[in-house]
Amino acid sequence: MHEQLRQDAKGAILFDATVSPQVDSTWFDADHWRRQAALSAQSGGRGGVAIIDTPAGECVLRHYRRGGMVARLMGDRYLWLGADRTRSFQEFRLLQAMAKQQLPVPQVVAAQYRRAGLYYQADLITRRIADAHTLAESLIQGRLDAELAREVGALVARFHRAGVWHADLNAHNVLIAPTGLYLVDFDRGRMRALARSWRMANLQRLRRSLFKLGAAAQGEAPFDQAIWTPLMDGYEETLGA
């Protein structure tokens, strides 16, 4: 990776010049890609995610938005604390660090912030993982079985063993592709000293997300036997490997 920084009066772009040396502010504008018929999908919601066809290949453009009650007041604005503490630059560099450890994450392309007074807005571009679907989709379609659960547990263990804390570990952020399983969306994620407390809390967050999607519709005991026990078996085996 060859990291480069491009600055102007309103903000800055951090990008990987080995992926594309031509990144500029238009890359972070969904309308720019729409006008070129290069935007294949866009969703609203908290993430503001768009699929764009760029000179660097098919990518995911994500605009950072707040969630919860604070979103009503702040929307997509964040308090300015310096370039290195922007959501986009922090996630860019975390993805870089994880890629160096050969963890299965999307390839990072570019990050941007645009500053206005005390606040800033931010965006991130990553390479799209081809032919992928989420763990949530697998569950809804009845394809989450003990074998897949074990693979998910092993996936999470790889990140935990490397000291990676995912701030929002849920079934929507686990991707299943022909090339394997991936974790995505590392906004607010960080490297931490290995400790059982945060590892178990992370896993419980994933468990709650499965419950919300109806994984325990037949009861908690059948869910534990069919899904959660295999998942934890895969987790513990990989963590101790």
- Helix/strand/coil for 172: helix
**Dihedral Cα 11, 13, 14, 19, nearest 10 deg:** 180
Residue 172 phi/psi, 5° resolution?
-80, -20
Q: Of the listed 168, 185, 187, 224, which one is catalytic?
A: 168
Q: Quickly count: other Cβ atoms within 10 Å of residue 82's Cβ.
A: 8
Whether 168 is catalytic is yes
Which contiguous run of DSSP H or E holds residue 120? strand 119-127
In angstroms and rounded to an integer, the radius of gyration of the C-alpha atoms of the chain is: 19
Rounded CA separation 171/152 (Å): 10
User: How far from the centroid of its chain's Cα atoms is residue 65's Cα?
Assistant: 14
Q: What are the residues whose beta carbons fall under 8 Å from the beta carbon of 29, sequence distance 6 or more? A: none
Helix axis angle, 146-161 to 196-212, nearest 10°? 150
| Residues belonging to the active site | 168
